């Protein structure tokens, strides 16, 4: 008959083996959907860039991490600009840390036909499977002084981030001054597998 200490050691060894198996197995996540429409009062045209950020344990299996839409214009008798910009990407990971985020950067043409930034936004992909609809608030950087604001208006070069993925980070965000700027409606479909096996529900 095995001693109590040997039985306890066996139980610990089995638990550690199960944990190693969980870490070795992949956690697939499939995301599809679209950047559907933009509500931005006073703006008649817009196009969208998207980028996807994720943690170091994540890998892209299929799809594009970055995308650029067509220029869409505001239709008559409408208050929203329809984009229908598709998103389709799948990932794998060994743990949910660094869950993927969607970063949106919106641009448009001013009265002189120059490209100007309209706003930035960021959301985490839904962690629960199924169809989700998200309203993403937009914001854009502000000039640090009225003189710089006037120069930016005159030259058609308002402040913008060097790297749009900056809006998905927490470091140094507090030093930037921003103003709210419209919102984007995003429809996302998420499918996961093996979440319960990894200890998540």
pLDDT tens per residue, range 138-188: 988 876 667 766 666 666 666 667 767 777 676 666 667 777 888 999 999
Percent of the chain scored above 70 by pLDDT?
Answer: 69
CA atoms within 13 A on the CB side of 40: 30
* Dihedral (CA of 142, 145, 148, 150) sign: positive
Q: State CA 141 to chain mean position distance.
A: 18
pLDDT of residue 22: 52
pLDDT of residue 77: 84
The residue to which tokens 């002189």 are assigned? 112
pLDDT tens per residue, range 5-64: 566 667 766 665 665 555 546 788 999 999 999 999 988 999 999 999 998 989 999 999
pLDDT band at 88 (very low <50, low <70, confident <90, very high): very high
Q: Which residues pair with 66 in a beta bridge?
A: 51
Q: Three-class SS of residue 181?
A: strand
pLDDT of residue 159: 62
**Secondary-structure class of domain 25-192 per CATH:** mainly beta
Mean pLDDT of the chain: 82
pLDDT band at 114 (very low <50, low <70, confident <90, very high): confident
CA atoms within 13 A on the CB side of 118: 26
Token pair of 69, please? 């839409």
Q: Which residues pair with 34 in a beta bridge?
A: 86, 187
pLDDT tens per residue, range 132-143: 999 999 988 876
Between CA 91 and CA 61 the distance in angstroms is 5
Is the pLDDT score of 76 beyond 60?
A: yes
Between CA 59 and CA 184 the distance in angstroms is 27
Angle value at C-alpha 102, between 89 and 104, nearest 5 degrees: 120
């Amino acid at each position: 008959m095995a001693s109590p200490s040997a039985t306890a050691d066996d139980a610990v060894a089995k638990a550690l083996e199960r944990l190693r198996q969980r870490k070795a197995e992949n956690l697939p996540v499939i995301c599809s959907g679209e950047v559907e429409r933009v509500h931005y009062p006073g703006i008649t045209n817009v196009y969208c860039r998207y980028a996807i950020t994720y943690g170091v344990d994540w890998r892209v299996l299929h799809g594009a991490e970055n995308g650029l839409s067509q220029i869409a214009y505001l239709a008559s008798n409408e208050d929203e600009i329809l984009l229908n910009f598709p998103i389709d990407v799948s990932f794998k990971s060994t743990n949910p840390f660094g869950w993927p985020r969607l970063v949106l950067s919106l641009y448009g043409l001013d009265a002189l036909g120059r490209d100007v930034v309209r706003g930035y936004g960021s959301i985490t992909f839904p962690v629960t499977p199924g169809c989700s609809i998200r309203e993403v608030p937009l914001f854009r950087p502000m000039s640090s002084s009225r003189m710089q604001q006037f120069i930016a208006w005159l030259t058609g070069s308002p402040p913008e981030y060097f790297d749009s993925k900056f809006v998905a980070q927490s470091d140094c965000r507090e030093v930037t001054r921003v103003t709210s700027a419209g919102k984007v409606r995003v429809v996302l479909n998420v499918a996961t597998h093996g979440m319960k096996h990894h200890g998540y529900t």
